[in-house]
Structure 1
Amino acid sequence: MPNTPSKPNGTTSAASSNGDDKGKKQVELQPSFTPTLLERLGITSFHLLNKLIPWYKLPGFIGAFNLAFLRIELRQYNLHDAYASSQAQGSSITDPLPNERYLGARHSDGKFNDLKQPKMGCTGMRFGRNFPREVCGKPSEEELMTPNPRMISERFMARKEGKFIPATTLNLLAAAWIQFQTHDWFFHEQDPHEKFNVPLSEDDKWLDQHMQLYATKPDETLDPSDVKCPGYKNLNTHWWDGSQIYGSSESVTHTLRNRHPDGKLSLDSRGREQFLPRDQDGNVLTGFNDNWWVGMEILHTLFALEHNAICDALRKEYPDWSGDQIFDKARLVNCALMAKIHTVEWTPAILAHPALQIGMAANWWGIVGEKLTKIAGSVEQTTTILEAY
């Protein structure tokens, strides 16, 4: 995480590690892309409006547009490459497309979603930053422990005895869902040789005398700037591609499929029920099985079954398709289903604000909304059928 807070005017405040005010300086953030003229006008207009009325107090649709322009500004100043050069993302010359199959299908390693930069977001690539690399030096252990993360956890997040506050609009599956999704997006490589010792107070109820956490392992040095500002590999694919189910490499995906002729994932049958397979030690065989609990078991099983149900439907409609064709299409459909649930159901349930609900619905259905989009889709489908005759 960067150790310098963002400023509303697009600058950061960088200070010396000893906290001396004399060490503070302003670092101008360079935009990572240039908005269009219309986008810049919108950003400026809402800046002026927000001096009088914050976005969350605006009427729903106006607030949604406010968030849309805020998103553009965040992309402009708070989305940065973790590499010193864009060459690290590869090219069509250094990483040619191995098979035209991946023009319309996911590659389990996360490659070839952008043919101009085929390694973008693939397994083993560094996760992007919200701040430029030059202001993201590696923090010392003292900086990481100030303030003490255990103290923060206990004071602000621990449940107080006798003061349980129920979430009246959610259940435990909401927590399971976001863990299920983050397992799809990222998992940084841990350093088995370096641990952090979190200081504990004398009356701490932790079971051991020490709380130890594995440090994140820095990526190899690819540029002299990596020494001061290291990057960190993501062991999962960065994309919304269901890698927690399908794996983040082609070899893992092939193992989970077991080359089923109908493109299905392997499941264990016990009577009329089906469950995720396990190895000889009882570990679940799936794309990502770390931090496992019953919530993960439910969601991984559910979407593995959903994948196989989609395969059955595709086989019925397209009997001439190969197993790879069915698998590829079923994975796309399954991932789209997860994205839809997260966009129009989970997020609005967590952040139940009218502006956000409008924005998330527009993000999925388009600005005209669900009903008109479905009507337009039905009209288009009918027109296509009539043209075929």
Structure 2
Amino acid sequence: MCLYNSVLRLFVYNSVLRLFVYVVVVCPVLLSALARDSSVVTHGQEHYHTKDPPCASCPRLGRCVPKVQCPAHVRSRSYNPACHLEGSVGICCFTFREHAAESDHSARASTAISADDVKASHQKSRQTLAQWMSIAGKLLEHSARTLVNRTSPSYGHHLSVVTHDARAATLGQGGLLNLFAAQELKARQAISDDELALGFTEHTDGPFCLPPPTCSSPSRYRSIGGECNNPTHSTWGAIHTGFERLLPPDYSDGTWAMRTAKSGLPLPSARRVSSTLLLDGSHPSSAHNLMFMQFGQFIAHDISAGVVFTADNGSAISCCANDGEDLLPSELQHFACAPIEVAPDDLFYGQFQRKCINFVRTQIAPADDCSVGYAKQMNGATHYPDLSHLYGSSEEKLSSLREAGGLLRTFNDFGRELPPLTERKECLSMKEGAACFESGDAHGNQIISLTVLHTIFTREHNRVARELSALNPGWDEDTVFWETRRILQAVFQHIIYNEWLPLLLGPQIIKTFQLLPSEGYSSSYDPHVNPSLSAEFSAAAMRFGHSTVDGRLMIQSPKMGGVYESISIPEVMFQPARMRLRHFMDRLLIGLSHQAMQTVDPFVTEGLSRYMFHGGNPYGVDLAAINIQRGRDHGLNTYNQYRRLVGLEPYTEFQQFAPSAAQRLSSVYERPDDIDLWVGGLLEEPVDHGILGPTFANIIADQFDRLKKGDRFFYEHEPGVNPGAFTTVQLLEIKKVTLSRLICDNRDGVELSSQSPAAFLRPDVPGNEPVPCESPRILSMDLSKFKEN
């Protein structure tokens, strides 16, 4: 029984009728009554989650959702009875994805901010920005100390987070203006901390308003920059907009200052956490290969690109003296500096007398409604999985990548199509003849296995474009290009949802969030769902992949009878010249298929935690420490807070963790409530038949659910929703495509002639033995279905 059996027995005798009354009448009424009783306490807060059997339907038009999709349920006095989801238990949500509970709305006083306060905040904001920009500009007078040297490992990291789009800096200054205005209103007590945290600032106008995009009649094709996807909210998911939040941020000042420990003391250095907890170790996956890891990075680069501040001339900011010998004096530090301190006795960096790892904060994005509020970091990519890292996110970038005939521009390397060469000095090795490639996001050279995927998709675009042009001789080159782009975007999305996500999340979470492709069209579009990435997804959960990286790439050669060479991954970061070797691409593809990825756990290869981007130096950058610091930069809440969000009990004692982790955790953090999200997520055991623990799995599942429901151009959406919808026959052809098909169709064919049907599983997994590329087990898309009648 749901509640109060005695009440039911008085009025209901028939068992069938008793069930009906419980579901339809008693459950909602009595739960509503209990919700008004603030004596029910869980997790140390006054909010009600019934321990009784879940209701079959939610009262008061509530929606039954996974807990991660109703952040208000962790708020004081929230009312969220349990309910049935697909194969699991969710909660009834009445506040959608808002951070505020119903009680927060009802208790909120409608206070108006005076015109004098607004005027003063605008004036103060402009003065503050002018002061900051003036100070930052004067730092260039000391450029030898305040800019990163090209030979420094930090320069390689800068290449990974820089944007060459001039729009970012302008919008970033607008974001700062609105942030400073919020800080001034807070200082004048015109806005409370709760109003800032819960987003109750819609009644304020900032000194900077984002220019709205011009959206014409519905286009058949996605826009380049992601704008105009949602007819009502035209900037949702667009480039240079802010990351959204699953929970309000944990800034020590409520607006932008980085998080401190619960005691008020500084958090432990991110390097100290990394060196103590995230050790080098090898724990190969029993089934998943390195292609799974690499495709995850390919997805991440497409939808997420944090844009860091740069100096006035666009150069990389240095926060460390003499390439890490110490922190720069405060008077020489840029306002965006948040350097990572390294202890003098650090077991690795101490050998080289390094006391500082360079770290520059992410630019701030202005709100689309020009309201003031806490800092939201800027995404330098479109938030949608739309292959923006292949096609670019601006008209100028796309124009530079296009070739005649609807093709993408390539570098013809003696008959082999490779991505076009870039004119920028982007690669660490610029010797004569060394290749450095252009991509839509300028990050395609970050590691050579990523360059291979850029090559595969570039070739696939040109292969499809040539065939479409032959099938439709009446099409001009623009039509050929846009139709090819539309098909490739659909193929990319299908591989994500059909092949990659199920292995990552496991069948139960896939079922709960309904992420599998449909039989035909999907009817899941919801114009009220904001698809924009969450900060938690971008700055923590999706970075699980750094734990899965193996320290070496095994280049396999069937002709040579096994492993041809073993390459340390720092040697091929921003050094893709090996792509010009005729046999290399096939051999690397074979190696990515055969080599096991590392499991998701608190182990990170020293290639990432000690030697990343080392160039000619004996040390490199610590990516694990940077991930931890980036989470703090983005104001991510603590690991325990996200455990609460997804429905797990928070840890109150270090001893509740596995013994191998408990002691090390307690040696760096004061208490469990201080643990960083990225660190805690790596410590969890994976969900059934998945790769991730439940916290990361829920955060990622929620994100891809929103990328499906909130994207009008999602490949499965029907013609009534998607202006560029495919016919049912065309959609069926797209759903035949797998990553194995793309590999087979775009390999060099020098040594690769067979491929496992499941590209993300190792060939030694039973049933996944390699088959010839011509095998019917690797289906092909019939492009004749795209011939225009």
TM-score under structure 2 length normalisation = 0.35
| 1:95-142 Cα deviation digits (max 9, x unpaired) | 4335x5x61112112122122322222222222222347985323375
Other-structure match for 2:223: 107
Q: Residue type matched to 1:264 in 2?
A: L
Distance of 1:235 and 1:81 partners within structure 2: 25
Query: Is residue 211 of structure 1 aligned with residue 390 of structure 2?
Result: no
Other-structure match for 2:488: 334
What is the CA distance between 1:335 and its match in structure 2?
1.4
Other-structure match for 2:239: 123
1:49–1:114: structure 2 CA closer, same or farther, 3 Å change rule?
Answer: closer
Q: Residue type matched to 2:388 in 1?
A: S
- 1:298-337 superposed matches below 5 A: 298-337=452-491
Structure 2 residue corresponding to 1:274, chosen from 417, 438, 463: 417
Distance of 1:203 and 1:72 partners within structure 2: 48
* Contact 1:127-1:233 at 8 Å conserved across structures: yes
Structure 1 residue corresponding to 2:338, chosen from 196, 200, 206: 196
| 1:206-238 Cα deviation digits (max 9, x unpaired) | 363311211112346986734xx1232222111
Structure 1 residue corresponding to 2:63, chosen from 31, 34, 40: 40
1:255–1:74: structure 2 CA closer, same or farther, 3 Å change rule?
Answer: farther
Distance of 2:293 and 2:95 partners within structure 1: 26
Other-structure match for 1:239: 384
* Contact 2:83-2:91 at 8 Å conserved across structures: no
* Contact 1:106-1:328 at 8 Å conserved across structures: no
* Contact 1:176-1:295 at 8 Å conserved across structures: yes
Distance of 1:134 and 1:198 partners within structure 2: 19
Structure 2 residue corresponding to 1:76, chosen from 97, 103, 124: 97
Q: Residue type matched to 2:237 in 1?
A: G
| 1:299-355 Cα deviation digits (max 9, x unpaired) | 11111111112212321222212222222121121112111111121122223x331
Structure 2 residue corresponding to 1:150, chosen from 266, 271, 274: 271
* Contact 1:343-1:364 at 8 Å conserved across structures: yes
Structure 2 residue corresponding to 1:363, chosen from 516, 523, 526: 516
What is the CA distance between 1:356 and its match in structure 2?
3.1
Structure 1 residue corresponding to 2:372, chosen from 208, 211, 225: 225
Query: Is residue 97 of structure 1 aligned with residue 97 of structure 2?
Result: no
Distance of 1:159 and 1:250 partners within structure 2: 43
Q: CA RMSD in A?
A: 4.4
Distance of 2:236 and 2:494 partners within structure 1: 23
Other-structure match for 2:440: 287
* Contact 1:344-1:361 at 8 Å conserved across structures: no
- Larger radius of gyration between Structure 1 and Structure 2: 2
Other-structure match for 1:263: 406
* Contact 2:362-2:378 at 8 Å conserved across structures: no
* Contact 1:121-1:239 at 8 Å conserved across structures: yes
Q: Residue type matched to 1:251 in 2?
A: E
| Partner SS state of residue 299, structure 2 | helix
* Contact 2:65-2:93 at 8 Å conserved across structures: no
* Contact 1:245-1:304 at 8 Å conserved across structures: yes
| Partner SS state of residue 169, structure 1 | strand
Q: Residue type matched to 1:146 in 2?
A: L
* Contact 1:195-1:214 at 8 Å conserved across structures: yes
Distance of 2:92 and 2:391 partners within structure 1: 31
1:309–1:368: structure 2 CA closer, same or farther, 3 Å change rule?
Answer: closer
Alignment gaps of 5+ in structure 1: 1-23, 28-34, 56-60, 370-375
| Partner SS state of residue 232, structure 2 | coil
1:42–1:138: structure 2 CA closer, same or farther, 3 Å change rule?
Answer: closer
Structure 2 residue corresponding to 1:354, chosen from 500, 507, 512: 507
Distance of 2:243 and 2:418 partners within structure 1: 33
What is the CA distance between 1:36 and its match in structure 2?
9.2
* Contact 1:264-1:308 at 8 Å conserved across structures: yes
Query: Is residue 249 of structure 1 aligned with residue 370 of structure 2?
Result: no
* Contact 1:82-1:126 at 8 Å conserved across structures: no
Distance of 1:84 and 1:368 partners within structure 2: 39
1:105–1:81: structure 2 CA closer, same or farther, 3 Å change rule?
Answer: farther
Other-structure match for 1:7: none
* Contact 1:184-1:237 at 8 Å conserved across structures: yes
| Partner SS state of residue 365, structure 1 | coil
1:104–1:83: structure 2 CA closer, same or farther, 3 Å change rule?
Answer: farther
Q: Residue type matched to 1:40 in 2?
A: R
1:358–1:48: structure 2 CA closer, same or farther, 3 Å change rule?
Answer: closer
What is the CA distance between 1:167 and its match in structure 2?
1.2
Comparing 311-320 with 135-144, greater Cα deviation is found at 135-144
Distance of 1:173 and 1:74 partners within structure 2: 40
Structure 2 residue corresponding to 1:186, chosen from 295, 299, 304: 304
Structure 2 residue corresponding to 1:62, chosen from 87, 90, 97: 87
Other-structure match for 1:20: none
Q: Residue type matched to 1:307 in 2?
A: H
1:73–1:249: structure 2 CA closer, same or farther, 3 Å change rule?
Answer: farther
1:240–1:293: structure 2 CA closer, same or farther, 3 Å change rule?
Answer: same
| Partner SS state of residue 215, structure 1 | coil
What is the CA distance between 1:189 and its match in structure 2?
2.1
Q: Residue type matched to 1:266 in 2?
A: R
| Partner SS state of residue 256, structure 2 | coil
* Contact 1:110-1:121 at 8 Å conserved across structures: yes
Distance of 2:346 and 2:387 partners within structure 1: 43
Distance of 2:229 and 2:245 partners within structure 1: 20
* Contact 1:219-1:233 at 8 Å conserved across structures: yes
Other-structure match for 1:166: 284
What is the CA distance between 1:81 and its match in structure 2?
10
Alignment gaps of 5+ in structure 2: 1-43, 48-57, 68-79, 101-196, 311-333, 426-434, 523-726, 733-784
What is the CA distance between 1:363 and its match in structure 2?
3.3
What is the CA distance between 1:377 and its match in structure 2?
5.2
* Contact 2:215-2:228 at 8 Å conserved across structures: yes
Distance of 1:134 and 1:223 partners within structure 2: 22
* Count of paired positions: 321
| Partner SS state of residue 330, structure 1 | helix
What is the CA distance between 1:75 and its match in structure 2?
5.6
Distance of 1:320 and 1:72 partners within structure 2: 52
* Contact 1:245-1:287 at 8 Å conserved across structures: yes
Matched-pair identity in %: 19
| 1:2-54 Cα deviation digits (max 9, x unpaired) | xxxxxxxxxxxxxxxxxxxxxx9999xxxxxxx9966536779x96479xxxx
1:362–1:26: structure 2 CA closer, same or farther, 3 Å change rule?
Answer: closer
1:363–1:47: structure 2 CA closer, same or farther, 3 Å change rule?
Answer: farther
* Contact 2:364-2:376 at 8 Å conserved across structures: yes
Query: Is residue 138 of structure 1 aligned with residue 260 of structure 2?
Result: no
Q: Residue type matched to 2:355 in 1?
A: Q
